[in-house]
Amino acid sequence: MTQHRSGGESESVGPFPGGESERGANRGYDSWRVLRIMSEFVDGFETLEGMPPAVTVFGSARTDQDDEMYTAAREVGAALANAGLTVITGGGPGIMEAANRGAFEVGGRSVGLNIVLPMEQEPNAYQTDELVFEYFFVRKVMLVKYAKAFVIFPGGFGTLDEFFEAMTLMQTLKARPLPIILFGSSFWAEPVRWIREVMYERFGTVSESDLSLFHLVDTTDEAMKLVRRALDGTYQTTLPSVIGTAARETGEGTRRGVHPRRATHNGLPGSARSMPKKS
């Protein structure tokens, strides 16, 4: 069962670590932490690289089994598995469980990328392959790297973070465009309206082409049509294309890109700028 902090409990802030005595005691510890991070990458790559093409499903850990979105995610998981695709989720309850369950019940590959948390995360029972991560950023790489599409159900802050993470990678052309499928217009209509009316029309903080990155659907058939377009190479957005060495994919699944050039000021490199003198 999903655990939640009760309303009567609170967590105090501070005192903050990092005093001189603590820094001395832990000096060098962060450097050794790299080995733990590296081991998580190695485990993830070795587990996932040989699997059939995958679709990652995101959504709330708090969705009950009698919720219509749970039923829909279960149907999507089964449809993906029946199409020969691996289903990847965050491995927890709710929507994640539903998608894993749908794939598991039809004999498909059902992957859960679990995360160690103080509360809430509990692995579901419908995983053919299970990984556990200490670090969110390593887990995010695995959730994105092997996906051919993303199906995103209603969720909380974590789901929104995953949605905007995928959007950012594609908007910046760091990752090749893949379908971002927002399942459930009753939930997603308002966030999408805010993106269009506030971010695009009012403030101009996103471009019109960015709005082609996501798609609202309400049925498994709609979602699968977009997934099939990604698989057969007919999926397109209005983003500009990337060619040459900048388009080469790196080991973590993103594009190589172009190294930034240092800005200049008065003919001097940015790092060599002098501050104006006080009068």
Asked if residue 277 has pLDDT above 60, the reply is no
Convert the pLDDT of each residue in 148-159 to its tens digit. Answer: 999 999 999 999
Convert the pLDDT of each residue in 96-132 to its tens digit. Answer: 999 999 999 999 999 999 999 887 668 999 999 999 9
C-alpha 6 chain-centroid distance:
28
Segment 70-74 shows an average pLDDT of 98
pLDDT of residue 275: 47
Which of 8-12, 61-65, 271-275: highest mean pLDDT?
61-65
Residue with tokens 């699944």: 253
pLDDT band of residue 21 (cuts 50, 70, 90) is: low
pLDDT of residue 3: 46
Report the share of the chain in percent with pLDDT over 70.
82
In angstroms, rounded to a whole number, what is the distance separating the alpha carbons of residues 199 and 192? 10
pLDDT band of residue 244 (cuts 50, 70, 90) is: confident
3-state secondary structure of 216: strand
Full set of structural domains in the chain with CATH? 38-243 (3.40.50.450)
In angstroms, rounded to a whole number, what is the distance separating the alpha carbons of residues 251 and 133? 19
- Please state, rounded to an integer, the average pLDDT across all residues of the chain: 88
Asked if residue 26 has pLDDT above 80, the reply is no
Q: What is the DSSP string of 8-77?
A: T------PPS--HHHHHHTTTHHHHHHHHHHHHHHHHHHHHTTSPPEEEEE--TT--TTSHHHHHHHHHH
Instruction: Tell whether the torsion through CA atoms of 82, 85, 91 and 95 is positive or negative.
Output: negative
pLDDT of residue 273: 43
Higher pLDDT, 238 or 127: 127
pLDDT of residue 240: 83
pLDDT of residue 103: 98
Higher pLDDT, 228 or 248: 228
Convert the pLDDT of each residue in 252-271 to its tens digit. Answer: 678 778 778 766 666 555 54
User: For residues 155 and 95, is the Cβ–Cβ distance under 8 A?
Assistant: yes
pLDDT of residue 25: 63
